């Protein structure tokens, strides 16, 4: 039982990171109907920025994270601004554009930080918490708390602010939103900025859990993308549930199938999607092409 609970806790911690990545995917898709294929690459940039400011510049971990989120937020704005002329004109070119941005970001990461990775020590030196015989790493609890706060703030922003309401309106009908005076381009830019910030948050948090390398964003991007699909692409609650589900599944397969864990995880994911193609929450697909 203790091993089972330990596996669940480890999976939930990693699943919270997947959920943050999935939220970034879902937010942009919900607003624009566009899958941002550069999202995983932004995760890599965020992870390297956070680790650099934390390890090299000796900034406190929280401050290093904020700086990384700010820089990647600007990257998100740049991506949206370059793609904006194609909005509602050439959807395929927009998709290709996000892929191109991802390639550029990967190249910049290797140019700036090199092809070798780095280990990031835990910023929380406290001893593990012993709960009913189950040892929980303190940093796992920190990751869960930060992910929960970020998710709550995002939900409050979307539901309680005028800008968030405008983004919701654009997601439902961008033509009607334009007709009532909502600036669609600005809403899209905010979606990209917040999505990039969530990617950086995920990358920074996962640094002490995994090894920061140029391949990190690819792995997290795929898992986050799978989580978004599993929950129902475009669904905010679905991104959270999907991320936790993929994290727990990942944790169990790693413990039982070792070298084949990735294969088993995606086989199970494929079976679930075959049974329920729209995902767990099954929101209607956004089509802005």
Residue 141 clears pLDDT 50, i.e. is over it: yes
Residue 15 is assigned to a structural domain of this protein: no
Q: Note the pLDDT tens digit of each residue in 25-69.
A: 999 998 888 889 999 999 999 999 999 999 988 899 999 999 999
pLDDT at 283: 52
Phi and psi angles of residue 60, each rounded to the nearest 5 degrees, phi first? -55, 150
Residue 173 clears pLDDT 90, i.e. is over it: no
Residue 126 is assigned to a structural domain of this protein: yes
Residue 257 is assigned to a structural domain of this protein: no
Number of domains present in the structure of the chain = 1
pLDDT at 285: 45
Residue 6 is assigned to a structural domain of this protein: no
DSSP codes joined into one string, 53-65: HHHTS---HHHHH
Domain that holds residue 144: 20-216
pLDDT at 243: 93
**What is the C-alpha separation between 229 and 269, in angstroms, rounded?**
10
Q: Are 143 and 11 in contact (CB under 8 A)?
A: no
Half-sphere exposure of 276 (CA within 13 A, CB side): 13
Q: Note the pLDDT tens digit of each residue in 144-166.
A: 999 999 999 999 998 889 888 88
Residue 198 is assigned to a structural domain of this protein: yes
pLDDT at 21: 96
Q: Note the pLDDT tens digit of each residue in 71-129.
A: 999 999 999 999 888 876 777 888 899 999 999 999 999 999 998 889 999 898 777 77
Q: Note the pLDDT tens digit of each residue in 217-227.
A: 998 999 999 99
Percent of the chain with pLDDT over 70: 95
Q: Note the pLDDT tens digit of each residue in 223-250.
A: 999 999 999 888 889 999 999 999 998 8
Residue 180 is assigned to a structural domain of this protein: yes
Residue 289 clears pLDDT 80, i.e. is over it: no
Residue 62 is assigned to a structural domain of this protein: yes
Residue 4 clears pLDDT 80, i.e. is over it: no
pLDDT at 1: 64
First to last CA, the chain: 50
Residue 272 is assigned to a structural domain of this protein: no
Q: Are 221 and 44 in contact (CB under 8 A)?
A: no
Global pTM? Answer: 0.90
pLDDT at 279: 82
Better-scored residue on pLDDT, 126 or 197: 197
Task: Work out the pLDDT band at 260, boundaries 50, 70, 90.
Answer: confident
């Amino acid at each position: 039982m203790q091993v089972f609970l330990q596996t669940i806790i480890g999976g939930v911690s990693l699943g919270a990171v997947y959920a943050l990545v999935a939220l970034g995917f879902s937010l942009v898709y919900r607003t624009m109907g566009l899958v941002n294929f550069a999202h995983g690459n932004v995760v890599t940039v965020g992870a390297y920025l956070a680790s650099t400011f934390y390890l090299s510049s000796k900034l406190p971990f929280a401050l290093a994270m904020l700086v990384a989120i700010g820089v990647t937020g600007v990257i998100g704005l740049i991506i949206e601004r370059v793609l904006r002329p194609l909005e509602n004109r050439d959807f395929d070119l927009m998709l290709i554009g996000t892929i191109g941005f991802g390639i550029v970001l990967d190249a910049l990461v290797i140019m700036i930080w090199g092809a070798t990775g780095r280990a990031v020590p835990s910023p929380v030196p406290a001893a593990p918490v012993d709960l009913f015989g189950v040892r929980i790493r303190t940093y796992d609890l920190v990751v869960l708390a930060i992910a929960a706060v970020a998710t709550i703030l995002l939900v409050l922003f979307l539901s309680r602010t005028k800008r968030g309401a405008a983004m919701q309106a654009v997601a439902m009908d961008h033509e009607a939103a334009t007709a009532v005076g909502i600036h669609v381009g600005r809403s899209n830019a905010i979606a990209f900025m917040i999505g990039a910030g969530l990617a950086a948050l995920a990358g920074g948090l996962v640094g002490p859990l995994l090894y920061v390398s140029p391949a990190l964003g690819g792995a997290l991007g795929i898992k986050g993308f799978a989580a978004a699909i599993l929950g129902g692409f475009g669904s905010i609650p679905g991104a959270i549930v999907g991320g936790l589900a993929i994290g727990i599944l990942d944790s169990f397969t790693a413990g039982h199938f070792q070298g084949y864990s990735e294969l088993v995880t995606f086989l199970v994911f494929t079976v679930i999607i075959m049974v329920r193609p729209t995902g767990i929450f099954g929101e209607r697909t956004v089509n802005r092409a």
